[in-house]
Structure 1
């Protein structure tokens, strides 16, 4: 759109008032003068629309030189692109203004009714006709627009307040449910702990009883072993005495020796039997200990102390907002990074004076250098609307995409982020806050276009 001086005016200057007549523009007696370029937006658009409709039908000599290129546009484009120039022409050229009025009286007589019910149409007609009530009508439109804006802001604030109140109630309800669930879980854990303590006490009693029985059996085995040893010593002494006393009674001595050997064998067998009983008792005690371990699940769990820590979770985090060059460099150094660039958002921030084709060529060249240096996968998305010639191939290492007819480049960017597997680092470069919010919710990092351009300048 052509530049408009109205953009530099203060808010209090937006309500037009009487101004001095433009050079070469004679005002009729009683005719009110208004600031053509300071009209309220609705009145400006209405006046520009009427002038654009007449511009294409007027003789060339009635059209100011600066408006002749605008006359070649379609009517809708004339009003949109050349609105400020049309208003300046109406203000500065009485001949052009008179020609527009004559054309409107002939073809759009209803557009010149200063008493129309539509205040915008009435104000536009009064301005074009130079009515004395033009200033008051323009001020009325400005006032109505301001009141409409204030009402919209008030309604939005009330809606936001109601939404926040509903959210607060929901959070309170969820908190109450969480507290109830926590209290119930705590009570259940306390009851389970009491049961486990009771069973531990019972098993402790059983274990102590088994230990006492084992000690008693060990003492009895020691006594029996001592008795057998004493008996063996007695028999050995007896055999020795019999051998010394009765050499002639060797047969008897041999029998005695055989009896002694039999006694020794019996003693050994008795000791072996006692050892077997002791081993069996120890195995029984070990089985009781293993049963208690299984009952209490001691030593059989795979959990670790770190698994019991509360107040932390493994949920997926939102992607970060990259706000400074150091953070941007750290993100670009991530392995397997995918950089997704909102093409025109970056080029119109960095070099808007170039043509769109030149903007695309310059950006893709810089991205190719960045991809070669960082090793990142680079995809740039341009809005395909109005692009008559799409390049067959982009620079090496850069994927260049154009959105299909009826599809926004923003939606293509969201689809690219959603198609990546969870956990892969993604950096989306755009200053469009709606896109930033949605891609960060999907886990991608977001960097503003201006910051990214500073990084491209160092490549």
Structure 2
């Protein structure tokens, strides 16, 4: 069976097929010629394509079947046309044997040879049945003539010459009658033999088909079992991972509880001044407000532990990309600041004026997005954010608003212009 699958047209000799099957295949090929590009066809098939559509199948049958049997290319073109325009013509399981055999030949089905043989046997059966019917009709005609001769002999019983003539004709007709009977008997015997062979072949093909179906069902069951095993393995892995994460969370929670209990027992409070802050002759760097002039100074501050960058949203976006709509400006700077947060580890807060903004959306991770309340400016929100931070924490406010710069620097925060921040964001 594997060998037949590798051969073109299911391993059958297309030009040698039975007449009904040849006519069926020629009709399908002739219909396909209407849409197949002429450049894909051989010279002989292009000639047939030039015939009137009604004559292509009958006049060009031998050329079309020869092209179908010579290689896979013409069959693939016809098969592609049938899939798009006549999918019913490719049903190998069709009840009509000629239909099923033609579909098997076109699709190179392993059962093509068997189905073609079955069609050939049925065609032979029909031919023999026609011969038998002809012989029986001839027998009836001769019987009628014999009856007429006998009747004529009865009417002319007194004429010896005429009687001899009639007897001669009677003997001749009797000989013809016996020959006709012999032909009819031979045709009946041949028909019975063909029927027996056809029944055996049909049973054998049905057994092979049932075996193939059983193998296919077994393969499907094995595939389904494998899929269930994969799903079970994935579920087990996910459950194991969740169990590990739960144990890790419990361990961290236990460690944190133990640390908190130890702090309570030892009376250790929150850290205030660090040792470096107490060195004589040195000022507190975090408390010294500066105006950051370049990207390098900004990066140095953002890499400090617990650094917090507060951004005057529209002041920066209108400096960097004023041609965009306000919504697009908000989306773009939020994405850029999220990338900056991921690289530096700094906390980032983005403040916008909230007037007219009603949309709610999910913002990128790593960026806190705030909108001022109605009647409140984003400048006031930024000032409140700086005022809420503890002294000594490295704060950077990105804005070109001079009033905001004076206010936040007065509270110890560093200031960076919108242009410098836009330059830094263009690199992420």
Taking structure 2 as the reference length, the TM-score comes to 0.35
Q: TM-score, normalised by structure 1?
A: 0.33
